[in-house]
Amino acid sequence: MDKWRIKKGDSVQVIAGKDKGARGEILRVLRDERRVVVGGVNVCTRHRKPSAADPGGLVKSEKSIHASNVMLIDSSDDKPTRVGMKVVDGKKVRVSKRTGSLIV
């Protein structure tokens, strides 16, 4: 498996698919399937039957999308950017390809 340049909690923008242009935060990373779950993106509605623990009804949830369909948002200029890696003080850090700034 190659290196991942996006992590849980990152702000991303969808660059392909039905939700193109939508922005959200990564809620989960599914490394084995190379997919991510982004908040407010690819929302699916399910009809749930009531049970003792759950009242049922219409339940909305986010489904995963492929990791190649999202781009990290650069915090310095609020635009999507590709991500590179750089060694700073003996540690590997993520760097914005657009501005060259470190990604925290």
Q: Is residue 29 part of a domain?
A: yes
Domain that holds residue 30: 11-74
Q: Is residue 4 part of a domain?
A: no
CA distances from 96 to 2, 75, 78 (A): 19, 9, 11
Judging by DSSP bridges, how do beta strands 35-38 and 65-66 pair with one another? Answer: antiparallel
Q: Is residue 1 part of a domain?
A: no
CATH number of the domain that residue 63 is part of: 2.30.30.30
Q: What is the pTM of this model?
A: 0.85
Structure confidence by residue, pLDDT tens digits, 38-76 = 999 999 999 999 999 999 999 999 999 999 999 999 999
Q: Is residue 62 part of a domain?
A: yes
Domain count, the chain: 1
Q: Is residue 98 part of a domain?
A: no
- Average pLDDT for 11-31: 97
Round to whole Å and give the CA distance between 70 and 5: 11
Q: Is residue 24 part of a domain?
A: yes
